[in-house]
Chain A
Amino acid sequence: MMRLSLLIVYLSISIVASGCGFKDIDKRYFAVGMGIDLTDNEEKPYRITLKLGVPSIEIDAGKSKTQVEIIETSNIAEGLRLLKAQVDKEIDFGHCNVFILGENLARSNIAEAVNWMTRRRDIQKVAAIGIGRPDAESVVKVQPVIERFPGNALGLFFSNDATESSYTFIELLTDLFRRLNEKGLDPILPVVMVQKDSTYIVNRVALLDKEKISIVLEPDETQLLIQLLAYLKKANLYGGFYSPPFAIAIQTIRTKYNFQQNGPALHLNMHIKQAITFDEMPTDAYFNDPKKTINQLETAYSEAVKQLLVKIQEANVDPLGFGLRYRAKYHLHDFEQEWPDIYQSIKFDVSTTMSVHGTGLLK
């Protein structure tokens, strides 16, 4: 009994103290966006742009208030420590779900920045990563007029909660880390651009040769690539395909491919199966000869895909993970030495099967 009462006394005294991670929510600043740029200064190569959300009870369009802090530093972690001396509250990355890397950084080396992100405890591994064009600072600094609360607008771009564009590729930190480290799989990052100083546009992807940008795809190529990746099984709608005078909406898509050694040449046979509906078509064109129409569309789609694959091949990047599949099937003594040559020699054969789920019309 004596011991119990002593224990109670100890506990009630120690309750006044608390754990060392204890920091009340109102003593924290929530970072809602972060940009990392490369500067010309050799001693302080990084410029960190941090957007801090200013909390307010009013949540309404245009009521979002933020504070932007910029610091130039020799490395990222050190920069944040310096930044802490500039703000009165603890900086918390727990709600920072978008990280923007400047284009000049992405053109030199993103490995260090990604490494820092994966190491830091309070950065969520489901945070989205993008490339800011022309630089990260200008993207992070933008304050969209219709934003409801700090950092919301850019965050919604990179989640499936709100807009689901077939042009927007979402790359999360976990996947980026994997793509950076896996042999035979290269990173893809969406490119975020600022439009009229107040809104964003995210309809391009940059393909990286592990650590730096090798090629930036155009919007229609981006859409096609996202369809091919198709592991983003977020919804049934995988965007469309435009081949005048038809515009089709792809409802479901399944991509299969395998390697085939035909003599000296290595062939990659890709087969794409789609269920489609028509967005636009000339009246009666389909109804007069459905088979021919579908054949034309299939050929057009295959051709577009093949062009894209060749373009990616020429850029010598491998976002679709052909190398990884090859590693799984064939043994190579030194993958990193041998694979580039094999990749360059691959011939692509693409075939498409479209099945019409609906014409969009009642006849």
Chain B
Amino acid sequence: MLERLKVILAPAEDLMQSEIIHPVTRQKLELAYYLPICDEQKIHDYITVPFSKNQYPIMNLFLSNANFKRVTDPAKWNDLLLRGQALVEYQNQIFSFDALKYEYLNLPDSNFEPSIRGPQHSLSEDPIISLNIIRNSYMSPELVIDKMQIGNISQTNLYILYDQRKVNHHTLDNVKNKLSSIHIDLIHSSGELERLLNGKKYQLFPTLLVTERFDRIGRALSFGKIVLILKGSQFALILPVTFYDFMHSVEDHYESYWMTKMIVVIRYIALILTTTLPGLYIAILSYNPEIFRLQLAFTLVASRSIVPYPSFIEVIIMLVMIEMLLEASIRTPKLIGSTSTTVGGLILGTAIQQAGLVSSIMIIVTSLVAISNLVLPIHTMSLAIRFLKYPIIVAAIFFGLAGVFLGILYYITCLCSTRSFGEYYFRLRGNASSQHGDIGGTKPT
């Protein structure tokens, strides 16, 4: 049976295949099951222990216990294994034994990427529990789980998950090479791994996606992506990714069609607003005031006339303030967190405007920038985007509107030249293969 299983099944690290030979009777028993989804204790109690004690003819147990069922059709093996059954071969007869384990009770709540209607749990720090849930939700024989160790001292287990039929093997080799070339003593979190894998030091955009959600992992696997799960970390890494993956929230598949589509559009608007708005404020106020209606121009003049400094000083004051606020609210305990935002946002904002340090329009701009940044669903991307507005501000100070658009152009160029593990990062259609003569095409190897 085991020989045949090797042919049918993907070479998974978590598929337990053992051959037990009784030391006295010399009888042979073959056993196969997927480790994460089976209760090992149960298998022990019902199969291995009775077999080795040999007090009672084991064949009788198999035939009499209702938990064992005879399997005659080898085509069903696959299915049974994936459903948490252990397969036993004894005296050329094959039995299945139900040992399914579903560990959804041991999962922590999802805090980082909450969803209203989706699963409420996040990955566990125990990778076996995580793999249990993933195996249970992605019941495909093509799912491969590889295992390797990272860290010279810590020897931390790292599981590499992929759908062997859908994955791009070139990318897979690339990732495996990169992983094996990592030399580090200790590794504690997948964030560390993310940095090590990211490659370029001065990269503007994240090229792998950090998630704690099972539904996202399942979807990623079905799109042929590779998932890395590190022991002791609540977050999995998904790669390769495109820019659009970062704009997508799992909720988009659960809620009403039109509203979710609109929310996606709103996310892109928020993305544009949060990167360009402070730059545009400077450019419009100080270089090209003719863009707006005259009415707004006069309101702007009136609200700015109390401010003694040029527009960019105003912008820098407010942005530094809001960055400090955001940073402070992450670090403070949850109980005080709301107080600091209230104090900072409401009181300081009103006071700073009444004191004539910044104009009232600037308050609107600042809060819009902060809010639209939080609209982005993935934290790593929203952090990366948070930085993007500063170079644009500098460009706007010197070149006005032209500078803002130059900055946007630069970012788009950056996005186009970024590759996530050899695959296009900013490509609209995901599955297009590279053609001869493509501009910026990946090198075929």
Chain A interface residues toward B at CB < 8 A? 11, 15, 18-19, 21-26, 28, 30, 32, 53, 55-57, 59, 92, 94-95, 97, 122, 124, 149-152, 155
Contacts and interface: CB of A to CB of B under 8 A. Distances in A.
A57 B295 CA distance: 10
Contacts of A59: 295, 298-299
Nearest to A123: B290
Contact of B400 (A21, A55, A97): A21
Contacts of B305: 26, 55
Contact of A25 (B300, B398, B400): B300
Nearest to A56: B302
B117 to A, nearest CB: 45
A97 B294 CA distance: 10
A28 B298 contact: no
Contact of A53 (B290, B294, B397): B294
Nearest to A23: B286
Nearest to A15: B397
Size band of the interface chain B makes with A:
20 to 34
B364 to A, nearest CB: 15
Interface of B: 284-290, 294-295, 297-305, 307, 310-312, 394, 397-400
Contact of A22 (B284, B304, B307, B397): B397
B274 to A, nearest CB: 21
B312 A25 contact: no
Contacts of B286: 18, 22-25
Given A15-B312, A32-B294, A26 B301 contact: yes
A92 B285 CA distance: 12
Contact of A55 (B302, B397, B399): B302
Contacts of A151: 294
18 contacts: A18-B310, A18-B312, A18-B397, A19-B399, A22-B286, A22-B287, A22-B397, A24-B311, A25-B284, A25-B297, A25-B301, A55-B299, A55-B301, A59-B295, A95-B297, A97-B294, A149-B294, A150-B298
B289 A95 contact: yes
Nearest to B393: A15
Nearest to B314: A24
Contacts of A25: 284-286, 289, 297, 300-301, 304, 311
Nearest to A24: B286
A149 B298 contact: yes
A30 B297 contact: yes
A contact patch SS: loop
A94 B295 CA distance: 13
A83 to B, nearest CB: 19
A19 B287 contact: yes
A56 B297 CA distance: 10
Nearest to B301: A55
B362 to A, nearest CB: 12
B397 A92 contact: no
B201 to A, nearest CB: 11
A24 B285 contact: yes
A26 to B, nearest CB: 5
Contacts of B302: 55-57
Contacts of B303: 57
A30 B394 contact: no
A64 B334 CA distance: 51
B299 to A, nearest CB: 7
Contacts of B284: 25
Contacts of A152: 294-295
Closest 8 CB pairs of A and B: A94-B290, A55-B301, A55-B298, A57-B302, A19-B398, A95-B294, A25-B285, A26-B304
A53 B299 CA distance: 12
Given A23-B287, A55-B297, A92-B290, 12 more contacts: A11-B394, A21-B400, A22-B400, A23-B286, A24-B310, A25-B297, A25-B311, A26-B307, A56-B302, A57-B302, A59-B295, A150-B298
B158 to A, nearest CB: 31
Contacts of B294: 30, 32, 53, 95, 97, 149-152, 155
Nearest to A64: B298
Contacts of A32: 294
A94 B285 CA distance: 12
B399 to A, nearest CB: 6
A88 B299 CA distance: 20
Nearest to A161: B293
